[in-house]
Amino acid sequence: MGDITDDLVKVYADSDALAQADLVRRGEVSALELVETAIHLVEQIDPKLNAVVLRTFDLARATAAEPGEGPFAGVPFLLKNLGSMWKGTPLTFGLAYTKDFVCDTDSEMSRRMRAAGLAVIGRSNTPEYGWSITTEPRLYGPTINPWNPSVTAGGSSGGAAAAVAARIVPIAEASDGGGSIRVPASCCGVVGLKPSRGRVTYGPDDADIWFGSIYALCNARTVRDTAAFLDAVAGTVPGDPYNPPRPERSWSALLADRPRKLRIGFTLTAPWGEPFAPDVKAAVLDAARLFESLGHDVEEYAFKLDLEAAWWRYNDIIAVETAGEFDRLAEAVGRPVGEADLAPFNWSMLRHAATLSATHYSASIAAIRKAGQQIALELAPFDVFVTPTLTQTPRPPGYWSMEDGDRERYLARWSDAAFMFTFNISGCPPCRCRWR
């Protein structure tokens, strides 16, 4: 096609994903024009942003040629460079060790995204193998926060959130094992929902990951895009261990309902680490006052559960699960991973896993399941519970660098995100829109 016009870029940037699909449906723009605009923006913006690390432009153009009738037909989209299998696409997990890996199958979620009509222009930047709330892998370098380069874009879905905030794409895949959808959404000012446990299947290659504590969905510009994306990808496959009930109506339709009077809890108490930063405390109080002004019952509450103890138990599980995942990757790569292949923190996790007995691992699983139960019991009186995504305002680049090989010191810095893993282990569905 010809040059991308300023008018087309403006229409593209001003439209969320559903609006873009509607433009295609009405014939006001073509799906190929949307895709070429996204490619143009990648080429113009991403050299500074570093959000898109793998490009699949030909795949996107092929989708745009026959966009179908899905709710996102022809809409440019980014896969995350971690976990998601889309047949024929490269997937490196942010590692030079797996730089030649190409997906040979589709996950069920990918099949549903394809059916929705999304045009995949590439994969977004992630930290090395994902266990970080910043996005600064050795292989690709850091993703820059498009609003303020002096603070992190967040992680592990930092590339996704930054690309959405910069209007490269209106929506991008994201996943979350300890805040990885919500933290970058908060840092970059976009929408990030961690859905309920089991809402989106791990199948068909996996039945369970981290005992139901990994969640996949998206970072998006708008709540309505998030709801429509959930409508498109939610659901189980036979044999899934988690089967949450699905509402009778779509999540998109439910957005139109006026909420009943709710009992809303909020907290001003950090589970451990530093007290809330003044700006964070003010934002929580502003939200509480807003809910009260809308007629809801609002109550302050502090967790009784020792969340710090649960955090360390959770990381025992993650260390062992990660070691198992690298054993499986070794079959695809043709050799075991070595110390030189990994950032020091990731290597420290594999070393820690080797020190844990089967009985210790089992005890950690039991402790996390009990903690998840206690969280749900404590929050049962509330319809909604409000916490900050981060107890501090976003940290500068390098603060959560995985070049720190001291496992305990590195993980202690996650106290900022103490409320994030809380909802991974409990299975509850929190979200984050904007911290500002």
Provide the greatest CA pair distance for the chain: 64
The tokens for 66 are 């026959």
Contact partners, residue 238, CB within 8 Å, separation at least 6: none
Please name which of 176, 85, 192, 97 lies closest in space to residue 130, comparing C-alpha atoms: 176
Give the active site residue among 84, 107, 156, 426: 156
Structure tokens at 361: 């691992």
Q: Are 190 and 147 in contact (CB under 8 A)?
A: no
pLDDT of residue 428: 86
Task: In whole angstroms, give the CA distance from residue 83 to residue 210.
Answer: 13
pLDDT of amino acid 436:
32
- Distance (Å) of CA 46 to CA 1, 38, 39, 333: 21, 11, 10, 29
Give the relative orientation of helices 418-426 and 307-333 as an angle to the nearest 10 degrees.
70
The amino acid occupying position 15 is S
d(CA 121, CA 172) in angstroms, rounded, equals 10
Q: CB under 8 Å to 310, separation ≥6 — which residues?
A: 367, 368, 371, 421, 422, 425
428: Cβ contacts below 8 Å, ≥ 6 apart: 196, 375, 376, 379
Assess whether 87 carries a catalytic annotation. no
Q: Which residue's structure tokens are 């995949």?
A: 120
3-state secondary structure of 178: coil
The answer to whether 99 is a known catalytic residue is no
CB 28 within 8 A of CB 20: no
pLDDT for residue 434? 41
Q: Which amino acid is at 360?
A: H
Calpha distance 104→87 (Å, rounded): 5
β strands within 143-183, DSSP E: 171-176
Q: What is the pTM of this model?
A: 0.96
Tokens of 124: 């977004």
pLDDT score, position 433:
47
The structure tokens listed for 298 are 């609002």
- Count Cβ atoms below 10 Å from residue 110 Cβ, excluding itself: 21
Task: Say what the pLDDT of residue 429 is.
Answer: 78
- pLDDT beneath 50, residues of the chain: 1, 433-436
Decide: helix, strand or coil at residue 387.
coil
Instruction: Kindly list the structural domains of the chain, giving each domain's residue range(s) and its CATH number in brackets, ordered by start.
Output: 6-254 (3.90.1300.10), 263-419 (3.90.1300.10)
- How is 76-125 classified by DSSP, letter by letter? EEEEESSS---TT-B--TT-GGGTT-B--S--HHHHHHHHTT-EEEEEE-
Q: Respond yes or no on whether the N-terminal peptide bond of residue 180 is cis (omega within 30° of 0).
A: no
From 84, 107, 175, 180, the catalytic residue? 180
Q: Are the beta carbons of 125 and 53 closer than 8 angstroms? A: yes
> Do the Cβ atoms of 34 and 119 come closer than 8 Å?
yes
Query: Order of strands, edge to edge, in the sheet holding 263-266?
Result: 297-300, 263-266, 384-386
pLDDT of residue 207: 95
R_g of the chain, CA atoms, integer Å: 21
Q: Phi and psi (nearest 5°) for 119?
A: -105, 105
**Helices and strands counted in the chain (H then E):** 15, 10
Residue 18, number of CB atoms within 10 A of its CB: 22
Which H or E element spans position 32? helix 31-49
156 assigned to active site: yes
**In 294-357, which ranges are continuous DSSP H helix?**
307-333, 344-355
Q: Give the residue from 151, 156, 146, 148 showing the smallest Cα distance to 345.
A: 156
